[in-house]
Structure 1
Amino acid sequence: MVMARRYPLLLLMSLGVALSPIYLFESGGLQFAHYAMAVFILLCSVTYRFSPLSRSDLFFLLYVAYVWLRELAALVSGAPLVTMMVPLHLTFVFFLYFYSRRHLYSQSDLVAVGHAISVACSVAFLGVILTGFSLQSGAAPVRAMGTFNNPNQLGYFAVCSGTIVCFLYNLKALRPVQFFLVLMISIFLSLTSLSKASMVSMGFLLLAQSGYLLFSHASREARLVKLLSCLLFVVAVSSIALMFELWRVFMVVDGLPFVDRLVNFASENDSSFTVRGYGIIASASLVELVFGMSSYSAALRHGGHEVHSTLMSQLTYYGLCGSGFLLYFFWRWFRTVLVSHGWLAMCLVCGPVMLFGVTHNGIRFLLFWILISISMSKAAGGSK
C-alpha cells in the first residue's frame, strides 16, 4: 500500500484505541471508539486488495457465520430482533481483527499503537481521578469505574492495556519510562476497580512479564540487564505497596478494599461458577449441546443475564459446533505467539485476558481484539 494512504488509516486505528475508555452510551451499544474503527474498516475495505484468508481467518469467519445461523434460527423461533446485535457485533469484530492485523507490519506501526494505548490509559486514569475512588474499606466499598459504565469494564481495560504495553515493550516499541508509567497506571486502574478477576489477572501478568524479562535472552549481559530491570520494577511496586500500607496504618483504616476483596474471594457469592452461569449448559438437550441454545435462550434460563465467561458463554450459546471454530482460532493465536516469541510470551499475551475470561465475558471488548491483532501481526512476527 502507498505510504501516504497508510497514515490516515493508522491514525484512525490509533484514534479508536485512544478513545476506547470513553463510554458515553449504554453498554452493548456503539461508543466513539467503535465509530472510529468503523471508518477504519470502511476505508481499509476500499483501499486494500483482496488477499487469501489464512487458516486463522477462515475459522474465525466460520465461527461468525455459525453465530449468524444460530441467532437467525432463534429469531425465527421467537427471539426478539435485538438478538441480532450479537452476530452484527461479531462481524464488526472480525473485520477489525482482519484489517488491523494486516495493517500492522512495521515497527513504526507498533510505536503508534503504543502511543495510542498510552493516551487511552491516561484518559482512563483521569476519569478515575475525576469521578472518584476509595481506598478505605467499609460495608460497601466504592468501586471506581471512571469513564466506563461499570467497574468490571475498567478492570478488564486495565488487564488488556497492561498486556499490550508489556508486549509492545518486549518488542522494543515502547521506551522504558513510558512502559513503566503506563503499566503503573494499569495496576492502579485494576486496584481501584476492585475487580477480583482483574487483580488476579494483573498479578499473573506481572509474574509473566518478570519471567520474560529474566529468561527471554540468552546472553549473560542481556540477562543481567533484564535482572536489574526486574529488580527495579519489583522495588518500585513494593514501594507503592508500602506507601499504601503506611497510609492505611497512619489513617487508622481497618484494611485496604482491594486486599479485602482478594482475601474474601472464595466466600463471596458472586465468585461462584453457578452465579456466573456455568450450570446452564447442564439443562441443555443433546441437540443444544451440539448446536447451542442461542444467547437469548440461555439468558432466559439465567434470569435474563448472560453467561459470564469468555469460553463457556460461547459453548453454551453455540454448542460444540460453533464454539469449536472459536476454540481452534484461539489455539492458532496461542500457537502463533508461541512459535514467534516462546512460551513465556504466550503466557504473557494470552494468559491474563483468558484468566479474566473465566468469570467474565470479554469477547465483546475492543482492546481484546486489538491485543490479538497486534500479537498476530507481521510487525510482531506473527503470520501474514
Structure 2
Amino acid sequence: MMIKEKLSADKVLLLLYVVLKPFYFFPSGNPQIADFIMLVLITYSFLFRLGRINRRLGFFLFLTLLFLYDIMMVNGIWAIALGGEMDVFSSTKWYLYNGAVMLALVILFRRNPQEYVKWVFLATATSLLVQAFILVSGLSPDSDEFRQSLFFNNPNQLGYFGLLCMGICLLCARFVSVKTIPLFIAIGTAFSIIAASLSKAAIISAVGMYLVFLLLSIKERTGLFWMNLLCVLVSSFTVFFIYLYTNENVLSDASIYTQIEERMVSLGEDSDDNLAARGYDRIANHPEYILFGAGEGMYERFNSSISLELHSTLANLFFSYGVMGTVLFILVMYGAVRGHRLVAWYPLAFQILYGLTHNGIRETFFWIMLALYFVTAEINTRQIKNGGDLLEKNLTNMRN
C-alpha cells in the first residue's frame, strides 16, 4: 500500500506509538514508553487541532466526559469511605488516559479522515509484522515458553493485542482504499500471534471475526474470496512453520498445533473456565453494589472465588460502577458506532465477546477502535449525502 500523503509529526508519533505499544519494559500497571509518546500526541491534538466542535462530536464528548466523571466519583467516594485507600482510586488514571486517547484521535483524524484511517492501518500492519518477526526469531524473553507473551506481561495480553489489531485492520479496510494482499497478510500475521498466545478467548473471537469477514467477502467482495483465504492461510502458516522449526523446545515437546488443539479441547474443563472462576459470583454475592458500584481495587473486600479483579469487561464495569456506569459506557460505544450499518459493527462485537472472560477495557487499542468507528461513521455519512456510499466505493477499489 502506497502512502502518498505528506508525512507529518503527528503521523510519526502515531506510528511510533502503535509499533512500540506491545513492548512492556516497566512493571505491569505502569506507563510504558509508548504511553509517553501518546501523551505528546494528546497534548498536540487538544492544543493545535481541536477546531470546531459540531453537534455529533459535542454529544460524544459529553457522553465520554460523563462516563469518566462517574468513574472518578465512584472510585473517589470509595477511596474516602475505606479510609483513604488510594488503591481503589488508582485505576481511574487508565480510564482518564484512554478516554483522552480516544478523544484526541477523533479530533486529529477529523482533519483528513481517510488519510489518517489509512495511516492507522499501515501502522497496525507494521506493528503486527514486527511482533511476528520477534516471534519467529526467538528474541522475546519467553521464547522458550509454550504460551508466548513476547514483550507483554502475559499471553492473554498478546492474544488480545492480536485480536484488536485484526479488528482495526478489518475496520479500516471497509472505509479506505487498502490493497488486498497487505490486508490479508495482516490478518494472517494477527492469527499467528493470537495462536502463539494460546488464549482460548482470543482464538475463538478471532476465528469468529474472520468467518464473518469471509461471509461478507462473498457478498461484498466478489472475486476476492479465494484470494482472501489463500493469502491468510499462506501468511499464517509461514509464520507458524518458521516458529516451529526455530524453537527447539517446541519441537522436542509438542508442536504449537498440538497445544492449540489441547487448549481448545479442554475448553470448559480448566479451573478458570467457569463464571465463578472469572469473578462473576461476586455480583450475586453482593447485590448491594449493583446501583452505585463497588469501585475497583481492594478485592479482598468481596466474597468471591478469586481475590483479583473481575475477569470481564462489562461485568467488571457493572460491579465496579453500577448500572449508571455501565449504561454510560454502552452509550459511549453506541455514540462511536452510530451512523454505521449494523454489519460494520462486527469487529467491535468480537472484542466484546473476548471481554466476556477478560477485562479488556484498559487496553488502549480498544479505545482507538472506538475513535476509528466514530470518524469512519462521520465520513461515511458525509459521503452518502454527497451521493455515494464510501464503503461501496472502497470495495470497488479493492476489486480493481
Shorter-chain TM band: 0.7 to 0.9
Unaligned runs of 5+ in 1: 135-140, 217-221
Question: What SS does the corresponding residue of 1:260 show, helix, strand or coil?
Answer: helix
Task: Summarize the Cα distance change of 1:237–1:117 in structure 2 as closer, same or farther, 3 Å threshold.
Answer: closer
Note the 1:1-384 alignment, pairs <5 A. 7-47=8-48, 48-49=50-51, 51=53, 53-77=57-81, 78=83, 80-104=85-109, 105-129=112-136, 130=138, 131=140, 133=143, 142-216=146-220, 223=222, 225-233=223-231, 236=234, 256-286=258-288, 288-298=289-299, 300-301=301-302, 302=304, 303-334=306-337, 336=338, 339-340=339-340, 342-347=341-346, 349-378=347-376, 381=379
Instruction: With the length of structure 2 as denominator, give the TM-score of the two structures.
Output: 0.81
Which deviates more from structure 2 when the two are superposed, residues 200-209 or residues 45-54? 45-54
Task: Summarize the Cα distance change of 1:92–1:40 in structure 2 as closer, same or farther, 3 Å threshold.
Answer: same
Which deviates more from structure 2 when the two are superposed, residues 191-200 or residues 166-175? 166-175
Counterpart CA distance in 2 for 1:175 and 1:5 is: 20
Unaligned runs of 5+ in 2: 246-250, 383-400
- CA deviation after TM superposition for structure 1 residue 189, in Å: 0.6
Which deviates more from structure 2 when the two are superposed, residues 41-50 or residues 232-241? 232-241
Number of residues of Structure 1 aligned to a counterpart in Structure 2: 360
Question: What SS does the corresponding residue of 2:76 show, helix, strand or coil?
Answer: helix
Counterpart CA distance in 1 for 2:263 and 2:294 is: 34
Contact 1:106 1:379 survives alignment (8 Å): no
Counterpart CA distance in 1 for 2:6 and 2:240 is: 50
Counterpart CA distance in 2 for 1:333 and 1:158 is: 22
- CA deviation after TM superposition for structure 1 residue 177, in Å: 2.2
Question: What SS does the corresponding residue of 1:269 show, helix, strand or coil?
Answer: coil
- CA deviation after TM superposition for structure 1 residue 373, in Å: 0.9
Which deviations, in whole Å up to 9, do the C-alpha atoms of 1:328-374 show, x marking residues without a partner? 2223334x2xx43x333212x21221111010000010111111111
Task: Summarize the Cα distance change of 1:24–1:383 in structure 2 as closer, same or farther, 3 Å threshold.
Answer: farther
Counterpart CA distance in 1 for 2:262 and 2:143 is: 16
Counterpart CA distance in 2 for 1:357 and 1:177 is: 30
Which deviates more from structure 2 when the two are superposed, residues 194-203 or residues 374-383? 374-383
- CA deviation after TM superposition for structure 1 residue 232, in Å: 3.3
Instruction: With the length of structure 1 as denominator, give the TM-score of the two structures.
Output: 0.84
Task: Summarize the Cα distance change of 1:79–1:209 in structure 2 as closer, same or farther, 3 Å threshold.
Answer: farther
Task: Summarize the Cα distance change of 1:72–1:383 in structure 2 as closer, same or farther, 3 Å threshold.
Answer: farther
Which deviates more from structure 2 when the two are superposed, residues 143-152 or residues 54-63? 54-63
Task: Summarize the Cα distance change of 1:230–1:191 in structure 2 as closer, same or farther, 3 Å threshold.
Answer: same
Counterpart CA distance in 2 for 1:98 and 1:128 is: 33
Contact 2:335 2:374 survives alignment (8 Å): no
- CA deviation after TM superposition for structure 1 residue 261, in Å: 0.4
Counterpart CA distance in 1 for 2:36 and 2:236 is: 40
Quote the residue 2:391 is aligned against: none
- CA deviation after TM superposition for structure 1 residue 125, in Å: 1.9
Task: Summarize the Cα distance change of 1:5–1:120 in structure 2 as closer, same or farther, 3 Å threshold.
Answer: closer
Question: What SS does the corresponding residue of 2:89 show, helix, strand or coil?
Answer: helix
Identity across the alignment (%) = 22
- CA deviation after TM superposition for structure 1 residue 195, in Å: 0.4
Which deviates more from structure 2 when the two are superposed, residues 66-75 or residues 289-298? 289-298
- CA deviation after TM superposition for structure 1 residue 128, in Å: 2.6
- CA deviation after TM superposition for structure 1 residue 263, in Å: 0.9
Counterpart CA distance in 1 for 2:362 and 2:381 is: 23
Question: What SS does the corresponding residue of 2:27 show, helix, strand or coil?
Answer: coil
Question: Match of 2:130, as an amino acid?
Answer: V
Question: What SS does the corresponding residue of 1:272 show, helix, strand or coil?
Answer: coil
Question: Match of 1:160, as an amino acid?
Answer: L
Question: Match of 2:282, as an amino acid?
Answer: I
Task: Summarize the Cα distance change of 1:376–1:201 in structure 2 as closer, same or farther, 3 Å threshold.
Answer: same
Which deviations, in whole Å up to 9, do the C-alpha atoms of 1:106-161 show, x marking residues without a partner? 32212221221122112222333323557xxxxxx721000111100000001000
Which deviates more from structure 2 when the two are superposed, residues 195-204 or residues 233-242? 233-242
Contact 1:310 1:363 survives alignment (8 Å): yes
Question: Match of 2:15, as an amino acid?
Answer: S
Counterpart CA distance in 2 for 1:314 and 1:150 is: 22
Task: Summarize the Cα distance change of 1:271–1:44 in structure 2 as closer, same or farther, 3 Å threshold.
Answer: same
Task: Summarize the Cα distance change of 1:5–1:195 in structure 2 as closer, same or farther, 3 Å threshold.
Answer: same
Contact 1:299 1:306 survives alignment (8 Å): no
